[in-house]
Amino acid sequence: MGNEGPFYSDERDEPPHIHVETSEGECKFWLKPFISLARNKGRTIFVELTDGRIIGFPAGRFKILKEATDKQLQKVKIRLNGYALRWEELDEDITVPGIVAGKFQLP
């Protein structure tokens, strides 16, 4: 039995990762980085990633966040073990890959 190809896993209680199976067993590789801290200053959202980067972006770059009040923006939570930001009241989620890649909805 040789190495099997990796496959992506989206298990609810763990951060996104891939599984790799070999003849000796299976191991998981976590897809990094993750968010370790999230906050907002005014209408700018800041995230600190586990690799040390701090990224800030204006709330106005996302349709729902653009219309949110300052109080609503303050209610940001880190979800999926650091893989995403969540504003429950607004029903809005933003993922780490989207933030890092600068994939914003509005110019």
In this model, does residue 9 exceed pLDDT 80? no
Give the pLDDT mean for 57-82. 94
pTM value is: 0.70
Q: Can you tell me the mean pLDDT for 24-46?
A: 86
Beta strand pairing call for 7-9 and 17-22? antiparallel
Confidence of residue 2 (pLDDT cuts 50, 70, 90): very low
Q: Which residue has the higher pLDDT, 3 or 81?
A: 81
Domain positions in the chain: 1-31, 35-101
Class of domain 35-101: alpha beta
What pLDDT score does 90 carry? Answer: 97
- Asked if residues 58 and 72 have their Cβ atoms less than 8 Å apart, the reply is no
Closest CA to 75 of 66, 84, 83, 85: 85
**Which pLDDT belongs to residue 12?**
63
